[in-house]
A = this chain, B = another copy of it.
Amino acid sequence: MADKQSTKPPAGTRDFLPDDIRRRQHVIGVVRDVYEKYGFEPLETPAFENIETLLGKYGEEGNKLIFKILRRGEHEKSGEADLALRYDLTVPLARVVAQYQNELPKFFKRYQIQPVWRADRPAKGRFREFFQCDIDALGSMSPVVEAELLSAVAEVLGRLGFHDFEIRLNHRRALTALLECAGVPESLHADALVAIDKLDKVGVEGVREDLQSRGVDAAATMACLDFFTGLTTEDPGRYGALERLRTFVKSHHAGPAAVDALVEIVALSDRTAAHGRIRVDPSLARGLSYYTGAIMEVAVPDLAGSLGGGGRYDNLVGMFLGRDVPACGFSLGLERIIVVMTERNMFPAAVSGGPVDIMVTIWNDASRADALTLAAALRAGGLRVDVYAEADKLGKQFKYASGRQVPFVAIVGDDERERGEVAVKDLRSGDQTSVPRADAARFVARAVRRET
C-alpha cells in the first residue's frame, strides 16, 4: 500500500517532534504553575463552536478567516457548515460565562492555553494553528486586578529566565483625552491611534507624516507630537510621563481620572513581582478597539513586536449575557516566547538534553529478563530508563544511545551477572565503572546530577 501523497503536515501547521514538545511543555508548565499560584483557574473549551457563536464576532475580515466544518450526513453535499474551529479564547470565555453564570465565582479568574485556528495565508512565523495563552480576571473594576495580572505575567517571564523585559502601560481613556486635548476630531481617533502606536518604531517624523496622511490637521499633529517629543527627549524615567500627561489632559472631562487610574496601578504594582518592570508609555495604543481602560504590552529590547499584551475590556465578555461584565486580560505570545528562548538558548539542560538518563543494553536473548529486572530497579530509584529493544552488538547499542543524547548505558555481561554487578558506562567520557546491582540506581542518579 505504497502511497505517493505528501506526508507533510497541512500548510500553516506543524508537527511537534519530541524536542519541540519538551520545550513547549516546559514553558506551559511554568505558565500554569505561576498562574495557579495567583489563583487563576484552568478552563478548556471544545475545538469547535456552533458556527453562529463565532460568526460576526471578529469583523468581516475575521469571518473570512474562520475555518468552517461541513454539516455531516446527508447534508454534507450541500456545502452547509454548522460548526467552526475556535478562532480565539475570548468568545469561548464569553460563552462559558453566560452558560455557567450560576456556578462560576463572582470574580472568575481563568487561564486557558489551547490552540486556535485561522485561515490566514501561511508565512514565516504565521501559522494556521497556534496556541494562545490567556489569563482574564472577570467581575471587578478594582485596580487590584490589573496589579495582580501584571505581577503574574512578570513572574512567569522571570521564571522562564527573561531578565530584560519591560511592561509598557497606558490607559485607553488617557489616549482619548490626549487626542481630544490636541484637537484631533473624534472621527479620526482610531486612525490617529494606529499612527501613534508606531512611535517607537518609526519615530516622531514618521508619525507626523502618518498622522497628516490620515487627515489630521497640522495644528493637531503638532500638538500631539509636541507632547511625545518632550517625552522622548527628556527621558522621563518609568513614571515621569504621568505628570506630563496629567498636565496635558487636565482640562478633559475624563483625563485626570484616567491618569489617576494609571498612578494607582503603578503604585500597587510596585509592591509585586512587577516592581521595576513597568514604564508608563502614553504612545502605547494596541490595535484592538475593545479596550476600555488600562492597556499593557511586554517587550524585550532585541525583539521587534511584543511577548504579549492585554488590558481592560469591560464590554465584551458579557456579549452573550446582554450586560457588561468587567474584565481585564493578558495574552502571552507562547509561540514567540518559545522562538526567543530557543534563539537565546534559555532552556534548562533537562529540557534540551536526552530523553532518558540511562539505557540498559541487552547482552543476548537469554539476558533480556535480567535487563528488564535492572531497568525496573533503576526506575524505582527515580531514573528515566530506556531499554534497547533487542540483543545486538554492544557497539551498535552504544552508538544508538549516543545518537539520542543518552548520557549513560548499563551493561550486564556474563561476568557482571556472576559477580552481581552492573557496568555503567559514561558515553561522553568513555569511563566505565562496575558497581553492585543494589547500588546501581544511586550511583547513576549521582552521576546524572553531576553531568547536568
Q: Are A267 and B369 in contact (CB under 8 A)?
A: yes
Residue A394 at the B interface, CB < 8 A? no
Which residue in B39, B95, B370 is a CB contact (below 8 Å) of A7? B95
CA–CA, A44 and B111, complex, Å: 22
Question: How many protomers of this protein does the assembly include?
Answer: 2
CA–CA, A271 and B375, complex, Å: 9
Residues in A lying within 8 Å of B, measured CB to CB:
1-3, 5-10, 13-18, 20-22, 25, 36-39, 41-50, 52-53, 64-65, 67-70, 72-73, 76-81, 83, 85, 95-96, 98-100, 103-107, 109-110, 115, 117, 119, 129, 137, 139-145, 147-148, 151, 155, 267-268, 270-273, 319-323, 355-356, 359, 362, 368-373, 375-376, 379, 383-390, 400, 403-404
A7 neighbours in B (Cβ, 8 Å): 53, 95-96, 98-99, 320
A76 neighbours in B (Cβ, 8 Å): 68
Can you list 16 A-B pairs, Cβ within 8 angstroms, ordered by A? A2-B321, A5-B52, A7-B99, A7-B320, A14-B46, A15-B96, A17-B43, A36-B355, A67-B72, A67-B83, A68-B76, A73-B119, A77-B79, A105-B400, A144-B368, A144-B387
Please give 20 more A-B residue pairs, beta carbons under 8 A apart, in addition to A15-B46, A20-B44, A68-B76.
A7-B53, A8-B99, A9-B95, A15-B44, A15-B45, A16-B45, A18-B41, A21-B42, A25-B42, A38-B379, A38-B386, A47-B129, A48-B129, A67-B70, A67-B83, A105-B404, A144-B362, A144-B389, A148-B372, A271-B370
CB distance from A226 to the nearest CB of B (A): 34
Q: Are A369 and B268 in contact (CB under 8 A)?
A: yes
A145 neighbours in B (Cβ, 8 Å): 389
Answer whether A47 and B368 are a contact pair too, CB < 8 Å, given A10-B83, A69-B68, A320-B7.
Answer: no
Q: Are B144 and A319 in contact (CB under 8 A)?
A: no
CA–CA, A14 and B48, complex, Å: 10
By beta carbon, the residue of chain B nearest A79 is B79
Q: Are B271 and A373 in contact (CB under 8 A)?
A: yes
Q: Are B79 and A49 in contact (CB under 8 A)?
A: no
